[in-house]
């Protein structure tokens, strides 16, 4: 039957997410949001869209260094402070099924990783790519500045490895990435993760699952109260 018999099809709740693949809180926020959507009775009517954000855009493209070394050198963070922060986040991550291996994590310029997310989006693999990049960064300790590594991850998801390498060498999706970053500036987003529900309400940071569920519930109620 055609949809017109029953009126127009309901549009999904859209959650726009700004994040960066070297942001450990973004990895946690991604997992907790996924849990909230799975718990939500109308989860099949939710669309999650990821947008590029760079925490450290000045970091040299193509280079990499252990993240802990970078924090110590550039921010003077005492080792005890770093370890305490890691332990707290790792414990929260474990509750969400994540395995943080902070001693392996690399600091990189994430432009090329964002290119892979945009490439994956063009092949309906955006969310699996986001998940895979986070796991590569925070569990596997892979160097996401390496084009070969990024192309291998794309191939893991069934994308064409040669197409991934071409996208990287051609600096593809640059306009899309910069448009995401510009939109974040317009919205006043200075830190990630940042979640916008139906372009109406925002959740900032890796909040507990209850916070995301509340945002979903209220957004659904807004939909129900709106005229058809």
CB-CB contact of 125 with 158 (8 Å):
yes
Half-sphere exposure of 97 (CA within 13 A, CB side): 7
Prediction pTM value: 0.93
| Predicted pLDDT at 10 | 64
Q: Is the dihedral of CA 40, 43, 46, 51 positive or negative?
A: positive
pLDDT tens column, 5-25: 333 346 899 999 999 999 999
| Predicted pLDDT at 226 | 75
| Predicted pLDDT at 227 | 67
pLDDT tens column, 54-102: 999 999 999 999 999 998 898 888 888 999 999 999 999 999 999 999 9
The two structure tokens encoding residue 35: 């849990």
Mean pLDDT confidence for 166-192: 97
Question: How large a percentage of the chain has pLDDT more than 90?
Answer: 87
The two structure tokens encoding residue 54: 């760079």
- Which parts of 144-208 fold into alpha helices (H)? 147-156, 161-169, 174-186
- Domains along the sequence of the chain with CATH: 15-219 (3.40.30.10)
Q: Is the pLDDT of residue 224 over 90?
A: no
């Amino acid at each position: 039957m055609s949809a017109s018999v029953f009126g127009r099809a309901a549009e999904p709740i859209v959650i726009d997410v700004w994040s960066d693949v070297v942001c450990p809180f973004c990895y946690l926020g991604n997992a907790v949001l996924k849990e909230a959507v799975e718990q939500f009775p109308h989860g099949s009517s939710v669309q999650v869209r990821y947008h590029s954000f760079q925490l450290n855009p000045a970091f040299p493209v193509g280079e990499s260094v252990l993240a802990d070394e970078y924090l110590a050198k550039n921010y003077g963070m005492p080792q005890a402070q770093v370890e305490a922060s890691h332990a707290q986040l790792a414990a929260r991550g474990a509750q969400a099924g994540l395995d943080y291996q902070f001693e392996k994590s690399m600091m990189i310029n994430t432009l090329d990783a964002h290119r892979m997310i945009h490439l994956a989006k063009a092949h309906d693999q955006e969310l699996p790519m986001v998940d895979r990049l986070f796991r590569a960064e925070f569990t596997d300790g892979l160097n996401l500045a390496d084009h070969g590594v990024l192309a291998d991850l794309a191939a893991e998801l069934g994308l064409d490895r040669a197409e991934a390498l071409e996208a990287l060498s051609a600096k593809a999706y640059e306009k899309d990435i910069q448009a995401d970053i510009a939109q974040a500036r317009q919205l006043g987003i200075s830190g990630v993760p940042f979640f916008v529900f139906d372009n109406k309400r925002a959740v900032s940071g890796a909040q507990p699952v209850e916070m995301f569920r509340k945002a979903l519930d209220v957004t659904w109620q807004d939909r129900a109260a709106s005229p058809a």
